[in-house]
Chain A
Amino acid sequence: MEEKEYDSEENLEGDVATGGNNRTRLVILLLVVGLALGYMVYAAFPDNALYFMSVNEFMEKEEAQDGRIVRVSGKLVDGSFNRAENSINTSFRLIDEGTGLGGENLLASYVGVLPDLFFNPHSEIILQGSYGPGQVFEADTILVKCPSKYRSLEDELQQQSS
C-alpha cells in the first residue's frame, strides 16, 4: 500500500474551494481547545493541588480561618452528631484519622440533606465552606471520600460477628 492515489491537490469535489474555509475552522478549533485546556489547568491546579487540608492543617493555618472558602477533611467524631427534631440544621465534629479523642477537632454546621455515606465509619468527610464567627465551620457542601479498598460485605459481616 502506498499513499492514497486520489490524494492530489484537486482530489474531491469542493475540497479545493473550501480549503481556505477549513483552515480557518482548524485555527478556531485549535484556539478553542487551547483556551479550554488552559482554563482547566488553571481551575484544577494552582492552589487546589492538594485539594483539601486536614483538620490539624486548618487549625494551624490562621489565614484559612478568615472567612474564605476552604475545604477541610476529617473523620466524623463518634456521637458528635446533632440534629434538632424535624429540622435539617445539623452540627457535628471532625477529627483527623489516627488522632485520639483528645486531639484537635473542628465543630461544623450544615443545613441540608446529608450524603448517603456520611455516617459510614470508613468514610472521610470533606467540608467546603468557611470559618464563621463563634468558631464554627459553616459548611455549604459536604463531599464523601471512600478508601480505595474494596471488600466484600459478607466478609465484613463475618469479621464483625466473630
Chain B
Amino acid sequence: MRRAASSRARSWTSRPPRVVGTVGRWLVLLLLTLSATALGQSAAVAATEQCAPTGESACINGTIRTAAGEPAVGVALTIEGEGQELAATTGPDGRWSASVTSAGTYSVTLDEGTLPAGETLRDPANNPREVTVELGASRPALFPLGAPAEQAPDAGDDDGAEGPGGGDQPDDAAGEPGEEPAGVGTSSSGGVTMTRFVQQLVSGLIFGLLLALASVGLSLIYGTTGLSNFAHGEQVTLGGILAYMGVQFWGLPLVVAGTLAVVLAAASGWFQDAAIWQPLRRRNVGLVQAMIVTIGLSMALQYVFQFFFGAGPLRVVTSTPTSVSFGPVLVTRQTVASVIIALVTLAAVSYFLLRTRTGRATRAVSDNAALAAASGISVNRIIRVVWTLGAGLAGLGGVLLGLYLGAARWNSGGALLLLMFAAVTLGGLGAAFGALAGSIVIGLVVELSSLWIPSDMRYGAALVILILVLLFRPQGILGRATRVG
C-alpha cells in the first residue's frame, strides 16, 4: 500500500517524464493543480518515507527528538534551494527526509510552531540552517530540542504529556495521498478524460480483484463462525512481509517466496484457530467478546511487525518491472501475472465451495451450523479448513497487493481492513460470492472516485458507500431479507 509515497516523491522530483504516466504521476498532476499548499503537504507526507539517494538524487534528513528523548512527531520543515522548495514532516519515529534532484546548498527551516507541546529548539539561532549535498548521498540537518538558556518552564515535561502522541504509530495508512499503485499507467500523458477514466477503471478492477482475495476469507470466517475478524488485515500484512523476507532476506526467486508466503500464511490460520479460536469456542466465549479479542490480536500483531521490520516500506521487488500495453492502458507484466493468479485462485475457491464435499459442507455450516452439525458435518473441522483457507487467501492477497502497490508495511493490511469490511458488507455479510462482487465494487469506487474527489479522500468514498449500503440495504447487494424474532 505504501511504497507509493516515496516512489511518487521520486517520480515528480527526480524521474524524467519518460516514466510514462503512472497513476501516481497523474494524481500528482491533479494535486499540483489543486494548490501550492496541497503540493507542499503531499510532499510532506512523502518525505516521511525514508529517502534513498540514487544517481540523480540526494537526500537531506534527520531525526528530531524531544528533550525527554521521545521522537517528535509532526514537526514541519521546509527545504529551499537550487530552485526547489520542498516540505517535510517528521514521522512517528521522529524521522524526516527530503529528496532533492540537484547538488548544491539548501536551507532547512524548522517550523517551531509544529513542535510538540512545551518543546523548544535548543539553539534557535541555528534555524534555518544550511546544508550542502552531493548527488547520490545523504546529508543530515539536525535540530536538537531542549531548554535554551533563558527559557525553562516546560522543557522538563514528563513523558506523560506526550501520551501516545509520541510513541503511537497510528493507523495512518488509509487515505494517504501518496498511496498509488505502481502497476498501471497509461501510454499517454495527456489530460484526456476518457483515457483517465479507462485507466482508473482498470486500476479499480485490478485492485478490487486483489482485495477480493482477502475479503473472501473474511467473509467465509464470518459466515461459518459469526466472528467479525478485525485481525484479518494482519493476515494480509503477513503475506506481504513473508514474501519480502523470502526475496530480500533468503534470496529466493519471487515465485518461490510468494508460494512459501501463502503456505506459511495458511499455516498461521490453521495455527490461530487451533491455538485461539477453537479454545474460545469451546469456552463458549461470546461473539462480541471474541470480536474484541481479534482487535487485541490485531493491535499486538501490528506492533510485532513494526518491532521486527520497522515502520518503513518493505519492497518485495526492487527492480523496475517491464510493462505491456492494452490499448491506452499500460500494465506491468507482474500485474498481469497477479491478475491471472487471482482469477485462477478465485475460480478454484468457487469450485471448492460449489462442487467439493468439504466446500458444500462449508456452505451448510454458514447457513446453519447447528443443522449442519446435526446432519453429521464436523463443524470444527470445517471451521479449521475455513481459517486455513481464509488466512491463505489473505496471505496471497498480501503478496499480490505488496507487488501491485510496491511494498508491504507493518500496517498495510490494517489499512485495507475497512475496505474489506465494506466489500463484505456490500455483498451481504457471510456470503463468499457477495464478498467477491463487493470487492470489485469497492475497488472501482476507490479508484474512480479520485476522478472527482481529491485522491487522498478516496478511501473515505469507499467507507461512505459502506454506510449508505447499511442505510438502504443492510442485507447487502446479494443478501436476503429475513424474518425478525
Q: Do A and B bind each other?
A: no
